[in-house]
């Protein structure tokens, strides 16, 4: 299974529904609560610290911006994101159109 598909499945399990959208176009009509995520960056690690390593890439990790959207300001979904995703950090929260948004950075 592709790693992004694994993340998709995990996010669906956390949310308890299939309202998980990867980089949705503006024409998609979302159902709430929902999780929207997009690729934010691709991080690489090299062996530059070893004299014989030749600066070769040995690890690639994708970074996703994961946004939980819910009308409930006391939603437990953001707590589950932080608890269930090992490499996750909270970035910010805001409210727009009477919906609460919590944004996380996830290294996957």
**60-100 pLDDT per residue, tens:** 789 999 999 999 999 999 999 999 998 999 999 999 999 99
Element spanning 15, H or E: helix 3-15
| pLDDT band per the 50, 70, 90 thresholds, residue 2 | confident
Instruction: Say how many domains are in the chain.
Output: 1
pLDDT tens-digit readout, 7-34: 999 999 999 999 999 999 999 999 999 9
| pLDDT band per the 50, 70, 90 thresholds, residue 52 | low
Which residues have a Cβ under 8 Å from the Cβ of 62 and sit 6 or more positions away?
Answer: 3, 4, 39, 41, 42, 43, 107, 108
Residue 97 sits in a domain of what CATH number? 3.30.2000.20
Q: What is the pTM of this model?
A: 0.84
Which residues have a Cβ under 8 Å from the Cβ of 5 and sit 6 or more positions away?
Answer: none
Separation CA 23–CA 34 (nearest Å): 13
Query: Whole domain around residue 88: which residue ranges?
Result: 3-107
């Amino acid at each position: 299974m592709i790693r992004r598909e694994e993340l998709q499945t995990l996010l669906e399990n956390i949310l308890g529904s299939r309202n998980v959208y990867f980089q949705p176009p503006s024409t998609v009509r979302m159902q709430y609560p929902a999780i929207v995520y997009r690729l934010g960056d691709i991080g690489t690690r090299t062996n530059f610290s070893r004299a014989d390593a030749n600066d070769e890439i040995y690890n690639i990790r994708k970074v996703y911006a994961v946004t939980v959207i819910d009308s409930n300001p006391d939603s437990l979904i953001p707590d589950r994101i932080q608890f269930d995703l090992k490499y996750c950090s909270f970035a910010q929260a805001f409210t727009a159109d009477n919906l609460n948004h919590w944004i996380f950075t996830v290294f996957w």
